[in-house]
Amino acid sequence: MKITFPHMGNMDIVLKALLSELGHEVITPPPITKKTLSLGVQYSPEFACLPLKVNIGNFIEAVEKGADTVIMAGGIGPCRFGYYNQVQREILKDMGVQLNMVVLEPPDQHIGELLKRLRLITGSNSWWKLIKAIRFSYEKCLALDAIEKEASRLRCRELQRGDVDKVYRQGRKAIDQARSVKEVRKKQEEYIQAMQALPLDWHKKVVKIGMVGEIYTLLEPTASGYMEKHLGYLGAEVDRSLYLSEWVNEHLFKGLLSVKGHKETRKLAKPYLSCVVGGHGQESIGGAIEYAHKGFDGVIQVGPLTCMPEIVAQSIMPLIEKDYGLPVLTIYTDEQTGEAGLITRLEAFIDMLERKKLAIRQIDI
């Protein structure tokens, strides 16, 4: 099998590690570009959300490189993500593209269900080898999240624009090339220290912004118009409510590992949204409240245009703003989203947060 997968943030490195350890030939799709999006938009239904369109573009470009099998996550609940694999399969079939699909859906009860599904790609490998491969790839996932978090924290303090991103890209590459768990952990530490050793303005007064929303637009920079990076360049320290390692542990490993989950986040959301609306609608509400408790200056909710769970959450955000005095900006993205317009909106939001902070300081004096 020549296996590929859709891009979503750093997931390509994690899946490449897992599949390579199991002896498969891996075809990583080319990085997401305008061509990727154009291909996805051309063959997807107009009303489909942005992640489906980008995924289709990824698959077409991967097939051009020789891929014959795709592995992707499945979903449950009201979100359309649960139907993605069926819709994408039909789209590719209509195009005459031959691609086998292996869908890893969250287990209903026990992690054993996931291992059983993984058997479809493990072939004759032993269970022990599979577990070792999962452990190795998950260590990469943790390390990538750690350096990404640090980059989002420090970007707003760099004296030379681009320094943090340069080290982050080097760290990403080093973790990708690491060949053992020990080496992965060493690279994580090495590149976090390298970021902290850059010329940084630790006395700079910055605003702190939490990002909540739909998983794909949170994790995949191209889907949010590189929002995290722009916020950093505009002087905001950024934290996300969701990272890949957390999602994998919570949904695929059923919370088996001691990695931050979102159980408490959903509890916080219950007074405002007591039922599951699919996707990360509840987590968006609970995440905004968590950021209010942590003293963040504002929250940005991001999602793909027409995302039902985020639309439900958006309708509740005014109550969160009122009850917690926390400004919330909601941004939806699609193939029409322009970078200049996005930066203007972020700039205006940060300006408003800075003025609010200044007014509070003056009242305190």
pLDDT (average), residues 129-155: 95
Higher local confidence (pLDDT), 273 or 81: 273
Q: Could you tell me the two tokens for 201?
A: 């303005």
CB 216 within 8 A of CB 8: yes
CA 308 to each of CA 6, 118, 214, 225, 232: distance values in angstroms, whole numbers, following the listed order = 22, 30, 10, 20, 29
Residues 253, 189, single domain; the answer is no
CB 8 within 8 A of CB 58: no
Q: Percent of the chain having pLDDT more than 70?
A: 95
pLDDT (average), residues 164-168: 98
pLDDT (average), residues 237-262: 86
What DSSP string runs through 90-137? HHHHHHT---EEEEEPPPSS-HHHHHHHHHHHHTT--HHHHHHHHHHH
Residues 249, 273, single domain; the answer is yes
Angle between helices 163-177 and 11-21 (to 10 degrees): 10
Residues 346, 304, single domain; the answer is yes
Residues 260, 330, single domain; the answer is yes
CB 247 within 8 A of CB 275: no
Residues 250, 313, single domain; the answer is yes
| Domain end position, chosen among 125, 143, 165 | 125
Residues 194, 211, single domain; the answer is no
Give me the phi and psi of 225, to 5 degrees please: 70, 35
pLDDT digits (tens, 9 = 90+) for 207-230: 999 999 999 999 999 999 999 999
What pLDDT, on the 0 to 100 scale, is given for residue 110?
66
Higher local confidence (pLDDT), 91 or 122: 91
Range(s) of the domain holding residue 133? 129-155+157-201
What pLDDT, on the 0 to 100 scale, is given for residue 103?
82
Residues 360, 212, single domain; the answer is yes
Higher local confidence (pLDDT), 127 or 202: 202
Question: Is pLDDT above 70 for 9?
Answer: yes
What pLDDT, on the 0 to 100 scale, is given for residue 85?
82
- Give the integer Cα–Cα distance in Å for 316 and 313: 5
Q: Could you tell me the two tokens for 140?
A: 């990469």
What pLDDT, on the 0 to 100 scale, is given for residue 109?
64
The pLDDT-based confidence of 328 (bands split at 50, 70, 90) is very high
| Domain end position, chosen among 171, 201, 231 | 201
What pLDDT, on the 0 to 100 scale, is given for residue 360?
84
Mean pLDDT of the chain: 92
What pLDDT, on the 0 to 100 scale, is given for residue 135?
94
What pLDDT, on the 0 to 100 scale, is given for residue 19?
92
Higher local confidence (pLDDT), 186 or 259: 186
Question: Is pLDDT above 80 for 340?
Answer: yes
Split into its structural domains, the chain has a count of: 3
- Could you list the beta-strand ranges (E) of 199-297: 207-213, 236-240
What pLDDT, on the 0 to 100 scale, is given for residue 277?
87
pLDDT (average), residues 243-272: 86
CB 49 within 8 A of CB 306: yes
Is the sign of the CA dihedral 206, 153, 11, 161 positive or negative?
Answer: positive
Residues 78, 145, single domain; the answer is no
DSSP state of 249: I
What is the CATH number for 26? 3.40.50
What pLDDT, on the 0 to 100 scale, is given for residue 108?
66
pLDDT digits (tens, 9 = 90+) for 110-134: 666 666 767 777 777 888 888 899 9
Residues 281, 215, single domain; the answer is yes
- Give the integer Cα–Cα distance in Å for 143 and 172: 9
Question: Is pLDDT above 90 for 300?
Answer: yes
Question: Is pLDDT above 90 for 75?
Answer: no
Residues 247, 343, single domain; the answer is yes
What pLDDT, on the 0 to 100 scale, is given for residue 82?
77
The pLDDT-based confidence of 259 (bands split at 50, 70, 90) is confident
Residues 241, 352, single domain; the answer is yes
CA 167 to each of CA 154, 173, 188: distance values in angstroms, whole numbers, following the listed order = 11, 10, 11
What is the CATH number for 353? 3.40.50.11900
Residues 250, 169, single domain; the answer is no
